[in-house]
């Protein structure tokens, strides 16, 4: 496994995913009953941005955050405001200055920050060093558990939760071509165990055919209502390999569509690179 999220922390895809995560958690929290937040591919939870300019072998690497969170750092209003306030608070708490981001949170920190005492977090990460960092980060939080384990196995093992409500974030590295089929089999099992659970799957928009193939196979699971939100920073003709990203959201919270499209449009408008930038949303499986 070569993937290190550190190099991508705070890029446009993180901005989109984390702003959407804030909206999704808010949507689930409209009900008083607590839920399990299961992060199947949790990462470290905290990233020091200045240290991402060098690879482990010492060679230089262009950081991705300046074209992402770096360009939104001073935004005060709009659909990203709650997310940006959280990220700025995280940066301040870690000792970062106000002018530019020095520290960026991962999805576990964002979810833990928003969790109520009735909510519970299960964070799974396969890399031992990242899982250890996560465990250290949350050692004082009684409603957070960290597991060094395969996230797909966790979807099978930890559902259904006693709360009977869950938000499952599946955010894999997509290093291998088998990722989509692993996601599908985890969703099959996850939905069998908790048909009413909310699942959010992040995926990159690279070659359109691959995403469409994934969506076709997903429909064969006969899944419950499913919303897709995609945002792009570049047109199909761009030399960029990843032109955008999407979230496939099963059983989305009520009326979340408007918030998510607003987030996607804002990220595309502020961070887009050409006139192919934009956002779209559609119901892959319509609400009844």
Positions touching ligand SAM (CB under 6 A) are 1, 3, 5, 17, 39, 41-43, 106-107, 124-127, 130, 150-151, 171-173
Q: What is the dihedral of CA 144, 127, 150, 18, to 10 degrees?
A: 60
What minimum distance in Å lies between the beta carbon of 287 and ligand SAM? 27
What minimum distance in Å lies between the beta carbon of 82 and ligand SAM? 17
Residue 244: closest CA among 279, 270, 275:
279
Structure token digits, residue 129 = 């060093």
Q: How far apart are CA 278 and CA 270, in angstroms?
A: 10
CA angle 144, 139, 35 (to 5 degrees): 10
Nearer to ligand SAM, 90 or 218 (CB): 90
Nearer to ligand SAM, 157 or 285 (CB): 157
What residues have CB less than 8 Å from 62, skipping those under 6 apart? 53
What minimum distance in Å lies between the beta carbon of 255 and ligand SAM? 24
The residue number whose beta carbon is nearest to ligand SAM equals 106
Which sequence positions are flagged as catalytic? 171
Residue 112: closest CA among 171, 202, 39:
39
Nearer to ligand SAM, 48 or 164 (CB): 48
Nearer to ligand SAM, 31 or 61 (CB): 61
What minimum distance in Å lies between the beta carbon of 286 and ligand SAM? 28
């Amino acid at each position: 496994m070569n993937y290190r999220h550190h190099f991508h922390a705070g890029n446009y895809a993180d901005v989109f995913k984390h702003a959407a995560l804030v909206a999704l958690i808010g949507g689930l929290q409209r009900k008083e009953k607590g839920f399990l937040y299961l992060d199947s591919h949790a990462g470290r939870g905290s990233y020091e941005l200045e240290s991402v300019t060098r690879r482990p072998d010492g060679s230089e690497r262009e950081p991705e955050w300046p074209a992402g969170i770096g360009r939104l750092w001073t935004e005060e209003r709009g659909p990203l405001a709650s997310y940006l306030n959280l990220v700025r608070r995280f940066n301040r708490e870690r000792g970062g200055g106000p002018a530019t981001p020095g520290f960026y949170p991962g999805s576990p920190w964002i979810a833990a920050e928003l969790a109520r005492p009735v909510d519970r977090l299960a964070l799974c990460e396969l890399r031992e060093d990242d899982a250890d960092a996560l465990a250290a980060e949350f050692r004082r939080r009684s409603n957070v558990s960290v597991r060094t384990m395969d996230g797909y196995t966790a979807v099978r093992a930890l559902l259904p939760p006693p709360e009977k409500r869950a938000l499952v974030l599946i955010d894999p590295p997509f290093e291998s071509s088998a990722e989509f089929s692993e996601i599908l089999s985890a969703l099959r099992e996850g939905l069998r165990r908790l048909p009413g659970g909310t699942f959010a799957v992040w995926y990159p928009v690279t070659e359109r055919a691959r995403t469409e193939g994934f969506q076709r196979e997903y429909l064969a699971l006969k899944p419950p209502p499913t919303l897709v939100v995609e945002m792009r920073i570049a047109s199909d003709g761009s030399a960029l390999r990843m032109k955008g990203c999407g979230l496939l959201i099963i059983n989305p919270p009520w009326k979340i569509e408007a918030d998510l499209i607003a987030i996607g449009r804002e990220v595309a408008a502020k961070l887009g690179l050409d006139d192919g930038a934009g956002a779209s949303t559609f119901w892959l499986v319509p609400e009844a």
